[in-house]
């Protein structure tokens, strides 16, 4: 173990500057490499054994839907048997992994981070193909994956160190330590298919737990590539088991098993609430109450005051609303703007939006590409239609084309009223609802009038307005005079209130406590 590496202060992985020729060429080379690997078949992995099934499901390029990214053995075809085997393998591995010293567990994360860092463009290129991430968005995802590994490794060392307790008045020796929970069900999303998937999986692993990983059926290839990294670094068999399924059977069995101790989930509100409800029911033979760590989305707002820097607000809004086609739980889907600057700001945002280039993600100058799948395309286009039906007016975009891929134009709809469907419902697509308000009081009221509470932003030159936002804007991640996306590990611990989830604060100093329990030990002397 390299003590110096562990003791180095955590620093965020720098983003790649693709304006530099050498970086652009490196990315093009990685895209060519990945292109030659498209369409391969991938197995289930249980206790290190690679299991091929006759039943398959495919992952496709959303921007070119005839292009198969990977073909996967579908565990849903024999879900009860395979999930049972995976959980049993994890349970068996837990009996030894739980006692592996924290320093050794952390070292696996540092090794994984190095593997990914050494081939970062390769992993970014996979995301371009499988999830429609542009070069910059994919690079940010890869950097965040590295950050999670480096950060959680260091955090585990901190939690494993001697913990402060009050000196006892009795003649005894006292200590307080954290111990792992057991087998975890890891159910990550497709929209940050490397970063969130790796962060969810390895935060559980570094704290001494073992896992069954069910990747999103829209992004299984990237998850399997991470499994290859874990195999390369020699992570013991059974610590992470990979069970891909095309539907919900695998996840349901993982959640309901009496042998799973916790569920870590990122995804929609509907699925998150279902998991929360199911996990609360004790099963025969279950000896614990399961923990649920859930991050479930948002209906995030940027508030622009009359005294704001409108150019900065316009740029931040476009970046937050349309980055990765609006498919971030932190994305701006509501722009709440003072009526005194409404028309000017909307004009600026529309002008910036018209300049965005729509194309395939593998092209270096693409700003937006397709949404993830047909269901997302249908929801986006139907929500645009609903917005118009309820009195909205399209300022930019408004159309979709699914002939080649699932393309939705970056769309701005003004004249949206508080309470309208597109002002309340999460769309998860490049659709921005603009709400005009009379003053800042109304702006904050509208901003908070949602069942979610994930991110929010306020643009204002008035410090009193910003202070009110600190006190009154009920979100887990608040940004002032900047966009509401782009949380950095360690810098912006991430998680929201209300129906946005359990506010577990991924990338924060408390996150690992979700996967451990405290044990107080007193010895009489």
User: Are the C-beta atoms of residues 103 and 157 closer than 8 Å to each other?
Assistant: yes
Tokens of 423: 């002002």
Say whether pLDDT at 438 is over 60.
yes
- In this prediction, residue 3 carries a pLDDT of 43
Rounded Cα–Cα distance for residues 296 and 498 (Å)? 10
Gyration radius of the chain over CA positions: 23
φ, ψ for residue 524, nearest 5 deg: -70, 135
Helix intervals (H) in 243-399: 249-256, 269-279, 310-322, 342-354, 374-389
Q: How confident is the model at residue 7 (pLDDT cuts 50, 70, 90)?
A: low
Backbone φ, ψ for residue 340 (5° rounding): -70, -25
Strands 240-242 and 210-213: parallel
* Average of per-residue pLDDT across 417-433: 98
Mean pLDDT of 262-270: 97
Handedness of CA 427, 432, 436, 440 (dihedral sign): positive
Domain boundaries, the chain: 23-296+504-524, 300-488
Residue 424, classified by CB atoms within 10 Å of its CB into exposed (0-12), middle (13-18) or buried (19+), is middle
Q: Report whether pLDDT(164) > 80.
A: yes
Query: Mean pLDDT, to the nearest integer, of 276-287?
Result: 97
Q: What is the pLDDT of residues 340-364, one digit of tens each?
A: 999 999 999 999 999 999 999 999 9
Rounded to 5 degrees, φ, ψ at 94 are: -60, -35
* pLDDT (tens digit per residue) in 176-234: 999 999 999 999 999 999 999 999 999 999 999 999 999 999 999 999 999 999 999 99
Task: Decide: helix, strand or coil at residue 75.
Answer: helix
Q: Is the pTM of this model over 0.85?
A: yes
Residue 474 banded pLDDT, cuts 50, 70, 90: very high
Domain boundaries 300-488, corresponding CATH code: 3.40.309.10
Percent of the chain with pLDDT over 90: 98
- Cβ pair 310, 514 in contact under 8 A: no
pLDDT digits (tens, 9 = 90+) for 52-68: 999 999 999 999 999 99
d(CA 377, CA 269): 19
Angle between helices 135-160 and 120-131 (to 10 degrees): 120
Mean pLDDT along residues 359-380: 98
Compute the average pLDDT of residues 498-512: 97
Q: What mean pLDDT is predicted for residues 413-438? A: 98
Residue 166 to residue 291: CA distance in whole angstroms: 28
How far is Cα 55 from Cα 71, in angstroms, rounded to an integer? Answer: 10
Given a cut of 50, whether residue 4 has pLDDT beyond it is no
Phi, psi dihedrals of residue 15, rounded to the nearest 5°? -80, 155
- The CATH architecture one would assign to domain 23-296+504-524 is 3-Layer(aba) Sandwich (3.40)
Distance of alpha carbon 267 from alpha carbon 296, whole angstroms:
5
Confidence at residue 5, expressed as pLDDT on a 0 to 100 scale: 45
Which are the catalytic amino acids? 295, 329
pLDDT tens-digit series, residues 92-143? 999 999 999 999 999 999 999 999 999 999 999 999 999 999 999 999 999 9
Q: Is the pLDDT of residue 376 over 50?
A: yes
pLDDT of 1 strictly over 60? no
pLDDT at 260: 98
In the chain, pLDDT over 70 holds for what percent of residues? 99
Buried b (16+ CB within 10 A) or exposed e, 370-399: bbbbeebbebbbebbebbeebebebbbbbe
Per-residue confidence at 8, pLDDT binned at 50, 70, 90?
confident
Q: What is the residue-averaged pLDDT of the chain? A: 97
* Residue 2, pLDDT score: 38
Half-sphere exposure of 218 (CA within 13 A, CB side): 21
């Amino acid at each position: 173990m390299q003590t110096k590496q562990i003791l180095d202060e955590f620093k965020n992985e720098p983003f790649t500057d693709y304006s530099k020729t050498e970086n652009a060429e490196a990315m093009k080379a990685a895209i060519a490499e990945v292109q030659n690997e498209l369409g391969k078949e991938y197995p289930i992995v249980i206790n290190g054994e690679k299991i091929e099934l006759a039943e398959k499901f495919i992952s496709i390029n959303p921007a070119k839907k005839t292009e198969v990214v990977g073909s996967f053995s579908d565990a849903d075809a024999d879900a009860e048997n395979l999930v049972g085997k995976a959980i049993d393998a994890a349970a068996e591995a837990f009996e030894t992994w739980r006692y592996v010293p924290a320093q050794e567990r952390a070292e696996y994360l540092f090794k994984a981070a190095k593997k990914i860092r050494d081939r970062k463009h390769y992993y970014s290129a996979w995301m371009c193909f499988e999830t429609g991430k542009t070069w910059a968005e994919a690079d940010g995802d890869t950097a965040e994956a590295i950050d999670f590994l480096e950060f959680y490794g260091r955090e585990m060392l901190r939690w494993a160190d001697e913990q402060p307790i009050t000196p006892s008045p009795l003649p005894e020796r006292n200590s307080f330590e954290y111990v792992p929970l057991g087998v975890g069900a890891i159910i990550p999303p497709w929209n940050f298919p490397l970063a969130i998937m790796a962060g969810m999986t390895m935060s559980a692993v570094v704290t001494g737990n073992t896992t069954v990983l069910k990747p999103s059926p829209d992004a299984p290839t990237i998850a399997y590539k991470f499994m290859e990294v874990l195999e390369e670094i020699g992570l013991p068999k059974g610590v992470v088991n990979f069970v891909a399924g095309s539907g919900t059977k695998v996840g349901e069995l993982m959640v309901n098993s009496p042998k799973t101790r916790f569920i870590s989930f990122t995804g929609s509100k509907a699925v998150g609430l279902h998991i929360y409800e199911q996990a609360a029911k004790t099963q025969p033979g279950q000896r614990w109450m399961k923990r649920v760590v859930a991050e479930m989305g948002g209906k995030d707002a940027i508030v622009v005051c009359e005294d704001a820097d409108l150019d900065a607000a316009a740029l931040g809004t476009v970046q937050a609303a349309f980055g990765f086609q609006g498919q971030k739980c932190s994305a701006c889907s509501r722009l709440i703007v003072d009526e005194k600057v409404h028309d000017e700001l909307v004009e600026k945002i529309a002008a910036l939006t018209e300049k965005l280039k729509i194309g395939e993600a593998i092209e270096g100058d693409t700003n937006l590409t397709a949404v993830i799948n047909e269901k997302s395309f249908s929801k986006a286009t139907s929500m645009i239609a609903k917005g118009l039906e309820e009195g909205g007016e399209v300022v930019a975009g408004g159309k979709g084309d699914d002939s080649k891929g699932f393309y939705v134009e970056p769309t701005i709809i003004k004249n949206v009223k508080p309470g309208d469907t597109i002002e309340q419902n999460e769309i998860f697509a490049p659709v921005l609802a603009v709400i005009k308000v009379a003053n800042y009081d109304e702006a904050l009221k509208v901003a908070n009038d949602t069942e979610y509470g994930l991110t929010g932003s306020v643009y204002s030159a008035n410090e009193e307005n910003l202070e009110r936002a600190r006190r009154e804007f009920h979100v887990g991640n608040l940004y002032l005079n900047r966009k509401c996306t782009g949380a950095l590990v360690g810098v912006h611990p991430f998680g929201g209130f209300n129906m946005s989830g359990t506010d577990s604060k991924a990338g924060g100093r408390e996150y690992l406590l979700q996967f451990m329990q405290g044990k107080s030990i007193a010895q009489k002397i």
